[in-house]
Amino acid sequence: MAGLSSKSFALLLLAMSFYINSSFSARITPQRSTEFIRKSCTATTYPKLCYTSLSIHSSAIQTSPKLLASTALNVTLSSAKSTSTMMSTLSQGHGLKPKEVSAMSDCVEELSDALDELRKSIDEMSNGKESNFGLMINDVQTWVSAAMTDESTCSDGFAGNAMNGNLKTTVRGRIVNIAQLTSNALALINNYALLHG
């Protein structure tokens, strides 16, 4: 009988400790996760944008450098997609000057390339083999860097005084935002690579 009650007591203690630990970690996790994101974002060029764009995904990221880098890529891809759609619509608008039509068309093409590179990076991050970590990270860094170059080329098409007004302001504002998100994603990928190595 004594053996049974000590087993019951041990089980009760185990259940209580599980309950206490799970409720404790449930209270701590969101705060730890957002703090992890805030701290990680200090390594980026645009820490405020990094934190605001990623902290809303804190429950998915938790404290994982890999999930942080992957989420940053997905946020960048989502922003690039919506900008690409907006640019395609704007480029078909009436009343655009030939120079504006040409710049918009080039930009849509550059963004399409950037979208492909971001997609490849996301696929590689989620499907890459741990045994080939160095190769996987190298590919991801190359593609994300290429996406940044494409975004920069798009923005360059609207440089100078030949093009002014709302179109230029709108396009450049969106492209700058994507370029900053991409830059942040690359910094987080580099950080993940350092921590992994």
Q: Which residue has the higher pLDDT, 182 or 130?
A: 182
> Using one digit for the tens of pLDDT, what is the confidence trace for 60-95?
999 999 999 999 999 999 999 999 999 888 888 778
- At 27 the pLDDT is 44
Q: What proportion of the chain, given as a percentage, has pLDDT over 90?
A: 60
- At 181 the pLDDT is 98
pTM above 0.95, yes or no: no
Per DSSP, the residues of 108-131 read HHHHHHHHHHHHHHHHHHHH--GG
Find all residues with CB under 8 Å of 177, minimum gap 6, and list them.
49, 79, 83
Quote the distance between the C-alpha of residue 153 and its chain's center: 21
- At 28 the pLDDT is 40
The average pLDDT across 133-158 equals 94
Task: Classify residue 83 by its DSSP letter.
Answer: H
In terms of Cα–Cα distance, which of 35, 26, 41 is closest to 58?
A: 35
> Using one digit for the tens of pLDDT, what is the confidence trace for 88-122?
888 887 788 888 888 888 999 999 999 999 999 99
Per DSSP, the residues of 148-186 read HHHHHHHHHTT-SSSS-SHHHHHHHHHHHHHHHHHHHHH
Which of 17-26, 113-122, 176-185 has the weakest average pLDDT? Answer: 17-26
Q: Which residue has the higher pLDDT, 59 or 19?
A: 59
CB atoms within 10 A of CB 89: 9
- At 8 the pLDDT is 60
Q: Please give the Cα distance from 194 to 181 (Å, whole number).
A: 20
The average pLDDT across 177-186 equals 97
> Using one digit for the tens of pLDDT, what is the confidence trace for 26-52?
444 688 999 999 999 999 999 999 999
Q: Please give the Cα distance from 88 to 8 (Å, whole number).
A: 68
> How much is the mean pLDDT over the chain?
85
